[in-house]
Amino acid sequence: MRGLAAGDDTCLAAVHRRWSRMVHTLAWRTLGDAAEAEDVTQQVFLGVWRGCGGYRPERGTVAGWIAGITRRRIADALSARTRRGELVAAAGAALPPDGSDTRRPEAALDRVVLGRALAGLPAAQRRVLCLAYYEDLTQTQIAQRTGWPLGTVKSHARRGLRQLRRDLERQNGADQTYT
């Protein structure tokens, strides 16, 4: 762990060789999907690499520390799976029964209006919202991807959503409120 904390790639390779089977097995048994288990395994070892300075031997073994990271990543994957299912169900409910959008020509206009509203946001807020909604990332995952603190990601998301609401309400008049 000292070598890992010092940035030694060979130490990361050794930790990966020793613990990757355990991580993958935990992820696969919980998620039931080999591809998701591979993703979780990769995320866990990225977390090990980035967070190795946070390991405290007096608090537990390396295996326990890695297992804790694994449990958190599995929980993130399950949450993302749930959100994807809810989004698919909501999108399916919003579609006309025959699958065509010809009965709702304003749907294309809605996409254009939303795209313009997103484009008007500051870059950081736009990036956070796009990662959350188009790539289905949690705020924790966005913080890891961007390298920003979690609180900053949450602030950008909150401010961006508020600004989108104000912009859309202004464009549509006070008769329509977005929640």
With helix as H, strand as E and coil as C, how does 12-42 read? HHHHHHHHHHHHHHHHHHHHCCHHHHHHHHH
Tens digits of pLDDT across the chain (179 residues): 777 777 778 888 888 999 999 999 999 999 888 889 999 999 999 988 888 777 777 888 888 889 999 999 999 988 888 877 776 666 666 555 555 555 566 666 677 777 788 888 898 998 998 888 888 888 999 999 999 998 999 999 999 888 888 887 877 664 455 55
The verdict on pTM exceeding 0.75 is no
